[in-house]
């Protein structure tokens, strides 16, 4: 069986969060140099350095976010919450808005 496309999925990720995951994995697990990883995954070396630093901070704070899951659902929920808040603000009467 030809696994070329499956191999490419890992070696040439297209989605942003997948690229970040693979770049961080290459740094922390494989011990590769930032310059080499940045070239492979299309990052500036300085941007990758920031990504590594942010990841370290997240690990220390026990605040890891999923990489490979779509954030669309979360973003959608967040936008619904902000829409509800703005609707509530608009529903206030002009006199109630002045008193706050």
Domain boundaries, the chain: 4-93
- Segment 13-37 mean pLDDT: 95
Cα distance between the two ends of the chain = 69
CA angle 2, 9, 49 (to 5 degrees): 145
- Is the pLDDT confidence value at 40 over 90? yes
In whole angstroms, give the CA distance from residue 15 to residue 22: 11
Who has greater pLDDT, 24 or 80? 24
Q: What is the reported pTM? A: 0.64
Count CB neighbours of 18 within 10 A.
16
- 3-state DSSP helix/strand/coil % of the chain, to nearest 5: 70, 0, 30
pLDDT tens for residues 62-87? 888 776 555 554 444 444 444 444 44
The HSE-up count of residue 34 (CA atoms within 13 Å, CB side) is 11
Alpha-carbon distance values, 76 to 48, 67, 69 (Å): 28, 17, 14
């Amino acid at each position: 069986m030809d696994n070329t496309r499956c191999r490419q999925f890992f070696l040439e990720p297209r989605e942003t969060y997948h690229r970040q995951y693979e770049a961080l994995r290459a740094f922390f697990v494989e011990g590769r140099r930032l310059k080499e990883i940045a070239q492979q995954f299309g990052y500036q070396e300085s941007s990758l350095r920031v990504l590594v630093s942010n990841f370290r901070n997240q690990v220390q704070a026990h605040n890891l976010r999923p990489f490979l899951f779509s954030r669309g659902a979360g973003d959608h929920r967040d936008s619904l919450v902000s829409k509800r808040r703005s609707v509530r603000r608009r529903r206030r009467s002009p006199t109630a808005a002045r008193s706050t």
